[in-house]
């Protein structure tokens, strides 16, 4: 494929990576191994590489490590041409555990170095200094090249960037036309400090547009450039200097579509029009008006109770996502669709007395 590939500098490093890479959440399973579609996923990863999306983001948690195995197999014959980013899980952030996890990832990836090693989620029960000390050792030993974080609040990101000798190269956050909350704090800070932003779920898991007016605008702009709405959405994201998008795709058409999302220019007036029509203001909802269960909370590390300490100390919280409730009893106004852990840690931090910020589908 002859798509023009746009490259961006990774943080303050001298390394350049594609503005659009490949995400792998769900490839090889979500949090348990699923090998049923291995051949299809291998073909997808290889096609993405051929199309110029030579940045691949994975994690030891994805498919309980199986995602890393698939990435390793996909890049076996072109390792030096691919930038591999993976993540260490929050339950493995002590110094010894980080070192052990890195060795596990290296083995599954069939490589002797990881380009970008990221903390998947913050864990307040382990001092950040200890985790970063392990990362420093991995750099000295030549096992990783750069360090990044994922799902960190602005306060946590500032602390990591301040503590680490060479600064943090990147932070990974959810960022798309529906969820633009990072524009208030994280994105300006990253632009100021020279930190790259890896935008996961850049197409909002396939939904892209969140309202009829926005859909109409996106359709008109897509027609103007002879592109798809998904390509316009990706181009809008990476038009921001610090943003790199990592969509997941498994079909040939979607892979080629993603890869061609940077081979055209998007006029400034169209970027501004998309920004104006995709504004999704959050609202504050009393916690007892949201229908939420507790299923799976006991398996989450760190627990909501442990995370609540940071919220009580003034840290910010990403909005939860809700939909209008269909509960016939009228007891609830909304049903939770994403952010169960955040909901319960907010309850624990404020005893259920303070409304929680939410984005409404």
How far is the C-alpha of 58 from the C-alpha of 26, rounded, in Å? 10
Selected catalytic residue, list 7, 30, 41, 62: 62
Question: What pLDDT score was predicted for residue 281?
Answer: 80
How far is the C-alpha of 169 from the C-alpha of 176, rounded, in Å? 21
Between strands 356-360 and 283-285, the pairing is antiparallel
Q: Which residues of the chain have pLDDT under 50?
A: 1
Q: Is 62 a catalytic residue?
A: yes
Enter the tokens of residue 182. Answer: 């990072």
Specify whether the CB–CB gap between 94 and 64 falls below 8 A. no
User: Which one, of 115, 127, 107, 9, lies nearest residue 65 by Cα?
Assistant: 107
Question: What pLDDT score was predicted for residue 213?
Answer: 79
Q: What is the 3-state secondary structure (H, E, C) of 269-328?
A: HHHHHHHHHCCCCCEEECHHHEECCCCCHHHCCCCHHHHHHHHHCCCCCCCEEEEECCCC
Domains of the chain plus CATH, in order, are 7-277 (3.20.20.100), 283-360 (3.90.1530)
How far is the C-alpha of 208 from the C-alpha of 278, rounded, in Å? 10
In this structure, the number of other CB atoms found within 10 A of the CB of residue 36 comes to: 10
Q: How do residues 33-61 score in pLDDT, each as one tens digit?
A: 999 999 999 999 999 999 999 999 999 99
Question: What pLDDT score was predicted for residue 1?
Answer: 46
- DSSP state, residue 151: S
How would you class 278 by CB atoms within 10 Å of its CB: exposed for 0-12, middle for 13-18, buried for 19 or more?
A: buried
């Amino acid at each position: 494929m002859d798509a023009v590939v746009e490259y961006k500098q990774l943080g303050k490093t001298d390394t350049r990576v594609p503005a659009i890479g490949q995400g792998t959440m769900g490839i090889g399973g979500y949090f348990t191994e699923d090998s049923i579609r291995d051949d299809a996923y291998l073909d997808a990863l290889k096609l993405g590489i051929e199309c110029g999306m030579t940045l691949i983001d994975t994690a030891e948690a994805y498919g309980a490590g199986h995602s890393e195995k698939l990435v390793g197999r996909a890049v076996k014959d072109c390792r030096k041409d691919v930038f591999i980013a993976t993540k260490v899980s929050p339950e493995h952030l002590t110094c010894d555990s980080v070192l052990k996890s890195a060795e596990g990832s290296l083995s599954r990836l069939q490589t002797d170095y990881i380009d970008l090693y990221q903390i998947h989620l913050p864990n307040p029960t382990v001092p950040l200094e200890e985790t970063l000390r392990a990362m420093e050792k991995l750099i000295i030993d030549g096992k990783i090249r750069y360090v990044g974080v994922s799902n960190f609040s602005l306060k946590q990101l500032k602390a990591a960037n301040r503590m680490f000798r060479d600064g943090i190269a990147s932070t990974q956050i959810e960022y798309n036309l529906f969820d633009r909350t990072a524009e208030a704090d994280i994105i300006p800070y990253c632009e100021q400090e020279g930190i790259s932003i890896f935008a996961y779920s850049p197409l909002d898991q396939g939904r892209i547009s969140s309202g009829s007016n926005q859909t109409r605008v996106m359709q008109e702009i897509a027609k103007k450039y002879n592109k798809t709405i998904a390509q316009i959405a990706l181009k809008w994201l990476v038009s921001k200097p610090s943003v790199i998008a990592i969509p997941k795709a498994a079909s040939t058409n979607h892979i080629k579509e993603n890869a061609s999302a940077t081979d055209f220019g998007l006029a400034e007036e169209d970027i501004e029009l998309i920004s104006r029509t995709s504004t999704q203001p959050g609202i504050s909802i009393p916690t007892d008006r949201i229908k939420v269960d507790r299923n799976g909370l006991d398996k989450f590390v760190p627990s909501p109770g442990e995370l609540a300490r940071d919220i009580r100390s003034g840290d910010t919280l990403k909005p939860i996502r809700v939909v209008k409730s269909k509960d016939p009893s009228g007891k609830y106004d909304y049903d939770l669709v994403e952010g169960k852990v955040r909901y319960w840690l907010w309850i624990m931090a404020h005893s259920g007395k303070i409304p929680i910020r939410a984005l409404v589908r």
